[in-house]
Structure 1
Amino acid sequence: MLRKVEIVVPLDKEERLKNILESFELVDKLQVSLWEDKALYLITLPAEDSGPLLDEIEQNLASASGFRLNVIKVEATLPEIEEEERPEKASEDKARNSSSTKSLSRQELYTEIDNSVGLNRNYLLMCSLSAVVATSGVLQGNVAVIIGAMVIAPLLGPNVGLALASTLGDIKLGKKSLITSFVGVLLAVLISSLAGFLLQPSEWSMEVLSRTNLGWGDVALGLASGSAGSLAFTTGAANAVIGVMIAVALMPPLVVFGLLLGAGESTLALGAFLLFISNVICINLGGVVTFLFQGIAPLDWWEKEKARRLTRYSLALWLGLLFLLLIIIFFIF
């Protein structure tokens, strides 16, 4: 997969940009004069090679007046680029600085996840619809309907956003993810609790009862799903994200908790709540570890130090909560 990068640079910084570009092997490059004081460069390169280049440009030119950089996905190109013609990285240093697997650049990843944690009308609507669908599915014992609620998965983005914020030391993204996630959880619980209070079912389906027990397998599944979800985001594998949405399944145990709580079944509700919390812990823990493994890190050294400190705190928190959860499983379930 290719990326086209548009760079608008002041003329007094053009020579520096040329020097940066010369140290990379590009598929294509075009320079266009804009106004008296600016130039536009259009370059094409493999997606997995874009990260080091974008970091280099950001570090040297981002503070320049009038600077602008846009990254565009190239869906197709003619003539086709033969495999042996694809450019390699310019040096071993750049190879070491990039991830060993094909992944989105840090800038693309941040933008994609930041867009998924916005608290807006669409998010509230998706949470409401997902809660209604999941509530209907578990009450009827209809697996297909429950899977539909899983695929909507509005709560996945904010949790992955929290994991990325911990890895990058980004307090702003972390707060945004926490608030968005909390509002979505609260909305789902209110809808399902109201349904439980009004309907007062005389007996519960197996889809409800199966989500009131927490086992070792649920924890293992949560860790694997959390890692897979973060990996799907970093590699841009949209098809894999759908599978992760189903595997993570945050909404079904959450609405089961609300249903049972609304119906006055507090003991059963506790089991469903612990299953939901288990998934949240595992998604965040798996996400932080995966982002670290992928080499996701801030650009500047002082930001890296802050990120390392926040990552340590985050890992300690999630590992501590996971250990507490395992103790609860051992003694209660």
Structure 2
Amino acid sequence: MGICRVDIHLADGEAFDIALRVVKAADPFDYLVLQPEQKDRRLIQVYMRDGPAQSLLDNLQSVLEDRKNWRITVASLDVTIPKLPEPKDEKKNARQQNTREELYVQVSSGAKLDRDFIVMVILSTIVAAIGLVSDGVAAVIGAMVIAPLLGPILGFAMGAALGELALLRRGILTLLAGIGIALAVSFALAMIMPPNWESRELMSRAEVRLDGLALAMAAGGAAALSVTRGASSALVGVMVAAALLPPGAAFGLFLGYGEWQLALRAALLLSLNVAALILSALIVFRLRKIRPRTWIEQQHADRAVWLNAALSGIFLLVSIALILLLDLGQTVDIGN
């Protein structure tokens, strides 16, 4: 379990006394009370493990939220000398987890729709489309490495878990923009690249299989788990991109080639993967107790979870509609 330092800047007086009592009740392994240059200010530096730090932050915000001129900052510490003893009893099994506030900042920054995101989606789609048409496995894998699609998936799921509609909206808009850009770029590339119907990489993106859905579920859950633990998300980002970018690029290519049946199959795979990614990430966030601090905010989160479930249901309904269209198209072909 990691170690963090919580700095509490506030005015001297009653607020300081209350905050100090909250700090002592949190049982940190060390804390300091400092006097800044401003005579009417105090600084409390608290050193504790990451897990209990969330409770301390929640309690401090509860007692200070109606007061003015205070600020809390959190910094992760890699090393402390001498080495701290391992936690005992039930604390020993506590799971390492970043604080809710740290997670929000990290996920929110990754879900932004900016110039870098757009350029990376364009470049990754070009690489993916070339790999699909040329049956180049290495090119498809390279496209998944650079595709920035992990951020909006996590942003959407965390926005639902916290009831943060702004983050929820940012995540879904960035995700839709990324998918839309991938479709447009691959559609344009289909105008200049002849089709290769012998390409296994391309034709496999028109197949809906259980192992593909399992990949999407595992990728969404692993992405949410990695970000809550503060672990590197590079590899799970590749897994998320594997579930989204190749089917999206294949969808645009098939549309450009005028192969509507294959395009519908790729769209079906893409829709199912998006629903699986979002639902599995949301489940992990809920299991890791990523939820709002106050009771009122919790009500908003419950509504957001229902909204998330409804949107995922829409993806599933779209998938069912695509399946029906595919069945109808096959019936017409047989009749002809």
TM-score, normalised on structure 1? Answer: 0.88
Determine if contact 1:195/1:259 at 8 Å carries over to the other structure. yes
Task: Give the partner amino acid of 2:45.
Answer: L
**Number of residue pairs matched by the alignment:** 322
Partner of 1:199: helix, strand, or coil?
Answer: coil
Residues 44-76 of structure 1 show CA distances to partners (whole Å, capped at 9, x for unaligned) of: 211122111111112222443221111112122
Aligned twin of 1:64 = 67
The 5 Å alignment of 1:210-229 reads 210-229=204-223
What is the Cα deviation at residue 79 of structure 1? 2.2
2:151 corresponds in structure 1 to: 157
Residue in structure 2 matched with residue 107 of structure 1 by the alignment: 101
Greater Cα radius of gyration, structure 1 or 2: 2
Among candidates 11, 14, 17, match of residue 15 of structure 1: 17
Greater shift in the superposed pair: 150-159 or 291-300: 150-159
Could you say if the C-alpha distance between residues 152 and 181 of structure 1 is closer, same or farther in structure 2, counting changes exceeding 3 Å? Answer: same
Return closer, same or farther for 1:188/1:320 CA change in 2, 3 Å cut-off. Answer: closer
Matched to 1:247, the amino acid is M
Native 8 Å contact 1:222 1:283 kept in 2: yes
Say if 1:51 and 1:244 are closer, same or farther in 2 by CA, change over 3 A.
Answer: same
| Worse overlay, 217-226 or 12-21 | 217-226
Structure 1: which 5+ runs fail to align? Answer: 90-94
Which of 224, 231, 254 aligns to 1:237? It is 231
Counterpart check, 1:179 vs 2:173: yes
Match of 2:138 among 138, 144, 151: 144
> What is the DSSP-based 3-state SS (H/G/I as helix, E as strand, rest coil) of the residue aligned with 1:83?
coil
Task: Identify the match of residue 80 of structure 1 among 79, 83, 99.
Answer: 83
Task: Point out where structure 2 has 5 or more consecutive residues left out of the alignment.
Answer: 331-336
- 1:176/1:132 Cα in 2 relative to 1: closer, same or farther (>3 Å)? same
**Among residues 43, 61, 66, which one is paired with 1:40 in the alignment?**
43
User: In the superposition, relative to structure 1, how do residues 220 and 108 fare at CA in structure 2: closer, same or farther (>3 Å)?
Assistant: same
Q: Please report the RMSD computed on the Cα atoms of aligned residues, expressed in angstroms.
A: 2.5
CA distance in structure 2 between the aligned counterparts of 1:175 and 1:111, rounded to whole angstroms? 16
Tell me, yes or no, if the aligned pair for 2:271 and 2:318 is still in contact at 8 Å. Answer: no
Instruction: Provide TM-score, normalisation by structure 2.
Output: 0.88
Name the counterpart of 1:3: 4
Task: Go from structure 1 to structure 2 and tell me whether the alpha carbon gap of 1:226 and 1:101 turns closer, same or farther (over 3 Å shift).
Answer: same
- Percentage of pairs with the same residue: 31
Following superposition, the deviation at residue 278 of structure 1 comes to: 1.3
Describe the SS at the equivalent of 1:198: coil
Once the two structures are TM-superposed, the CA of residue 41 in structure 1 deviates from its matched residue by 1.7
Q: Which amino acid aligns with 1:29?
A: Y
